[in-house]
A = this chain, B = another copy of it.
Amino acid sequence: MSTFDIKSVRKLAEAQPRPGGTESPCSACAVRNLTVCAPLNPLELSEFSSITTKGSVQAGNPIFDEGEPADHVFNVTEGLVKVYKLLPDGRRQVTGFLIAGDFLGLANDETYAYCAEAVTEARLCRFSRKKLEDMLRRFPQVERQLLSVASHELAAAQEQMLLLGRKTAKEKIASFLLKLSDRYEERGLSGNPLHLPMSRNDIGDYLGLTTETVSRTFTQLKSSGAIRLLPGSLVELTDRDGLEDIAEGL
Contact call A157/B159, Cβ cutoff below 8 A: no
CA distance A248 to B90 in the complex (A): 11
Task: Check: A151 CB closer than 8 A to any chain B CB.
Answer: yes
Among listed A15-23, A55-63, A105-113, A212-220, interface-contacting one: A105-113
Q: Which of B106, B162, B206 contacts A87 (CB 8 A)?
A: B162
Q: In the complex, what residue of chain B is closest to A91 when comparing beta carbons?
A: B166
Residue A182 lies at the interface, judged by CB distance under 8 Å to chain B: no
Contacts known (A85-B159, A147-B146, A249-B89); A208 close to B108, Cβ less than 8 A: no
Q: Indicate if A154 sits at the interface (CB-CB under 8 A).
A: yes
Where chain A touches its partner, the secondary structure class is helix
What mask results when residues 108 to 145 of chain A are scored 1 for a CB within 8 Å of chain B, else 0?
Answer: 11000110000000000000000000001100100110
**A91 contact set on B, CB distance < 8 A:** 166-167, 249
Shortest Cβ gap from A2 to chain B (Å): 27
What number of A residues sit within 8 Å (CB to CB) of B?
45
Min distance, Cβ A68 to any Cβ of chain B, angstroms = 15
**Seed contacts A89-B250, A140-B143, A143-B147; 14 additional CB < 8 Å A-B pairs:** A85-B158, A85-B159, A87-B167, A87-B248, A88-B248, A93-B158, A106-B154, A108-B155, A109-B155, A113-B159, A114-B158, A140-B140, A153-B154, A160-B161
